[in-house]
Chains A and B, each alone.
Chain A
Amino acid sequence: MDATLKALAEPRRREILRLVWSQELPATEIADRFRDVTRPAISQHLAVLKDAGLVTERRDGARRLYRANTDTVAELRAFLDDYWTSGLERLRGVAEEAEARKRQTRRRTKGRT
């Protein structure tokens, strides 16, 4: 998960991931989409994405083709979902306990008056 998060930290890598989300593309064509980035820089971004498991690479002769590995991307989303879902469930636990104590105190006070 750590490698996934790091790989997605760079906006260009997110852009590359978007490009190969629904179609397989050769490295050369991915590089052509970025006029302000050198080819070696694009190759490096692709290597980081591949190491993080976010894209898969396939060789076709001299060409290298890339496409998004959607399982890993879904994993990142699941991590964030779980972070807040479990947090809110814990909040419910402690808040309901506190509320129950308050209600008990109120009942006792009412009984006395």
Chain B
Amino acid sequence: MAELVREILIDATPETIWPFLTEPEKHVEWEGTVAEIDPRPGGLYRVLVAGQSQSAGEYVEVVPREKVVFTFGWEQEGHPIPPGSTTVEISLHPEGDRTRVRLVHRGLPDDAISDHGEGWAHYLGRLEIAAAGGDAGPDTPQSHEPTV
């Protein structure tokens, strides 16, 4: 399964960060305008993002001050990521007085596209070069299969 990984170092302890992940009124301070969350296995995860996109799922695993795992998707009809189709894991790793927060979003719909490591890897590589101010050069399609 293809996954997206994001990490951020926060100058706060897991004890301080935890309520922002598990308490509705604190959750909306950073994500969503309405959060209906019941952080226990099988509990509801439903966050209204920017007042329009309704994300939804349910909690799979909750380890206090260590991690939350919940299924994730959008309720909007026809969305490629429907509720329950993907999984998000947010884990907290203490580093001295600080905490590394790691988010892994698994099961994204790019699976089907990124076979054989082509696709995303190729374009993300180009994006990194361009973002760093470099020139990725002309984009040559990577044909690895004989043309039929």
Task: List residues of A whose CB falls within 8 A of some B CB.
Answer: 5-6, 8-9, 11, 14-15, 17-18, 21-23, 25, 29, 68, 70, 73-74, 76-78, 80-81, 84-85, 87-96, 98-99, 102
A18 and B112 form a contact (CB under 8 A) = yes
| Chain B, Cβ-Cβ closest to A6 | B78
The B14-43 residues at the A interface (CB cut-off 8 A) are 16-17, 20, 26, 29-31
Rounded to whole angstroms, the CA-CA distance of A83 and B147 in the bound complex is: 37
Between-chain CB contacts (< 8 Å), 16 pairs: A5-B80, A11-B112, A21-B118, A21-B119, A23-B147, A77-B123, A80-B4, A80-B105, A84-B4, A85-B6, A87-B30, A91-B10, A94-B29, A95-B10, A95-B16, A96-B11
A74 and B112 form a contact (CB under 8 A) = no
B contacts with A, residue count (CB < 8 A):
43
Task: List residues of B whose CB falls within 8 A of some A CB.
Answer: 4, 6, 8, 10-13, 16-17, 20, 26, 29-31, 78-82, 101, 103, 105, 108-113, 115, 118-120, 123-124, 127, 139, 141-145, 147-148
Find B143's partner among A5, A8, A22 (CB 8 Å cutoff).
Answer: A22
Name the B residues within 8 Å of A9 (CB-CB). Answer: 78-80, 82
What does DSSP make chain A's interface, helix, strand, loop or mixed?
helix
| Chain A, Cβ-Cβ closest to B144 | A22
Q: Which one of B80, B105, B139 has the highest number of Cβ atoms from chain A below 10 Å of its Cβ?
A: B80
| Chain B, Cβ-Cβ closest to A102 | B16
Name the B residues within 8 Å of A90 (CB-CB). Answer: 29-31
A17 and B101 form a contact (CB under 8 A) = no
| Chain A, Cβ-Cβ closest to B6 | A84
Rounded to whole angstroms, the CA-CA distance of A15 and B147 in the bound complex is: 18
B13 and A6 form a contact (CB under 8 A) = no
B113 and A95 form a contact (CB under 8 A) = no
B8 and A81 form a contact (CB under 8 A) = no
A22 and B6 form a contact (CB under 8 A) = no
Rounded to whole angstroms, the CA-CA distance of A89 and B103 in the bound complex is: 12
Find B118's partner among A6, A22, A99 (CB 8 Å cutoff).
Answer: A22
Rounded to whole angstroms, the CA-CA distance of A93 and B111 in the bound complex is: 32
Looking at the assembled complex, report how far the CB atom of B141 sits from the nearest CB atom of chain A, in whole angstroms: 6
Name the A residues within 8 Å of B110 (CB-CB). Answer: 73, 76-77
Looking at the assembled complex, report how far the CB atom of A79 sits from the nearest CB atom of chain B, in whole angstroms: 11
Q: Which one of B8, B101, B120 has the highest number of Cβ atoms from chain A below 10 Å of its Cβ?
A: B8
